[in-house]
Amino acid sequence: MLNFKFKYPIGIDIGGQNIYAVQLKQTRQGFAVRALAHLELDAEAESASDADQGFVAAVKKMSKNRHFCGKSVALHIPVKHISVFPIRFTVAETESVEEAIVRESERYLSFPLKEAVLDYAALTSVRADEVETYKATIIAVRREHIDHYLGLMKQAGLVVEAVDYRVSSLIRLHRYLHAIAQHPVILCNIGYTESLLAVVTGDSILAQRVIPWGARVLVEKILANLELLNVKENARLLLKTHGLAYDDPKSADNGDDRVPGETKVAMRRAIYQIITPSVDELVYEFHKMISYVRSERKHPFFEGIYMYGYAALIRHLDTYFGVRLNLPANCINPMTAVVLSDDAILPDVSEGAPFALALGLAMRKVKWL
């Protein structure tokens, strides 16, 4: 009998204000979710020490969930501590590829090399004029930040087995759900306070960036304009129910039949008018990313756009992006593609969309477990 016990660690994605955690187990049918947890961090902590104490308390509370198994963790540290940059380099006869990466990366670091932890998410080679040139996407973090989060997790009673990169987790998740062709695809994870954009092919990362745009922008716009007494859940429900549906005449008759048609249309129009200026800011970021890739590659053909995270909770976001970028667009809730080992883990599967990065992280195998 096969034994899959403990093969997958708890994937913990630490965002600006939220912690998402997922643990998987392997079955004959594919991945099954063993456990999920989501906690909001205190955004108003008076000091860094108070913030750390609140973080440790939150992780301890999360780890007491009876569905989680073991103490091993794969971790995403907050984006603010990470530097990402592309490099091109050649390898001298007397050095290895890794040594050349370190040599070239030092030119781009804003802090001393001896204080850095370096990794690369993609490495490709191109031969031109008999010279082999490499391209890589480098991830750099100050060692003190890594040590800091290792220490916090230790205080919470957990052991960090791996620190991963968000783009790697997003690609891992996407590959589980879809095949990545050689033509570029655009991947996006919309978080609550920030979003990750990446253009990838089957073997390389052509571009990536994190932008300070998230679902919170839309929630706060709705709260400010509709005076919903600062109830975030009401605003999120309006995004999920109406979102950008006013832009699509085919959706005019869909929705709650108990709501009169004229009222429904008026509400959709209002939500559409409130959020579209902010949504167009994200569209603009996509245009910039696409323009950059087209400047680097001759006439690239884009397969399409795949949007994760809160994207699946904003109605008709994919239709809106597809029209404005003239590309096929899909909003994906990956929780619909995995089995829940217990229905009580996530009673409403639609609410699992924000776990996307944590789910991709939890798919990372740690071979020594």
d(CA 64, CA 89): 47
pTM assigned to the model: 0.90
* Main-chain phi, psi angles of 298, to 5 degrees: -80, 120
Domains with residue ranges and CATH for the chain: 10-80+144-178+334-362 (3.30.420.40), 81-143 (3.30.1490), 215-330 (3.30.420)
- Give the chain's mean pLDDT: 88
Report the Cα–Cα distance between both ends of the chain, in Å, rounded. 18
Dihedral class, residue 30 (left if φ above 0, else alpha if ψ from -120 to 50, else beta): left
Beta strands in 179-289 (DSSP E): 185-190, 195-200, 205-211
d(CA 297, CA 319): 27
pLDDT in tens, 265-282: 888 999 999 999 999 999
Spans of the chain, pLDDT less than 70: 1-6, 128-129, 228-230, 249-261, 368-369
Distance of CA 232 to the CA centre of its chain: 21
The confidence score (pLDDT) of residue 369 equals 55
